[in-house]
Amino acid sequence: MMEFCHELNLSILRAAAGVRTCSAFLGCYNEELGTVCYINAGHTPGLLRYGSDVSELPATGMPLGLFVGSTYEAPTAAVPKGGALLLVSRGVVEATHKKEEFGLERLKQQFGLTPLTSAHGVASAALQAVRQFMQATATQNDLTTLALVRPSKGPQTF
């Protein structure tokens, strides 16, 4: 993961012919073990849930495209059986209504209450919550969610 991230960083610098900031969340999921090795390059924290406990997968390095010699940590996190991982774009947490942001804490609360029956359901619930908060259909182009649900038993859903 660290080597891949380093090469991706250099590719961005070359393609931009200079500095270009690019936040990213990169992950490699091991389906058999239920682990995700990730790099969070200045992106919105990933959210990991087990039961009602929601924890953050914070930034492990600077955004890509800033420095040739940037280094990144690549920790591994377990997605326990019956747990889930939720990734959202910055636009989700920064969505506003009357100058108030939806925010990461509101997203964590919503995620902690969402049934973990399917990845589609988890991702859709997050989008529904932010749209309801905004009290309008999305006018931003940066409302993106991605979820992984690891069921207690049986095949996994993505």
107/129 Cα distance (integer angstroms): 8
Q: Name the percent of the chain lying above pLDDT 90.
A: 80
CATH number of this structure's domain 2-150, picked from the four choices 3.60.40.10, 3.40.1190.20, 3.40.50.720, 3.100.10.20: 3.60.40.10
Per-residue pLDDT of 105-142, as tens digits, reads 999 999 999 999 999 999 999 999 999 999 876 566 68
Shortest CA distance to 58 belongs to which of 104, 8, 94, 13? 104
Residue 79 has pLDDT above 90, yes or no: yes
Sequence spans of domains, the chain:
2-150
Q: Which residues pair with 57 in a beta bridge?
A: 46
Distance of CA 68 to the CA centre of its chain: 25
Helix (H) or strand (E) segment spanning residue 150: strand 145-150
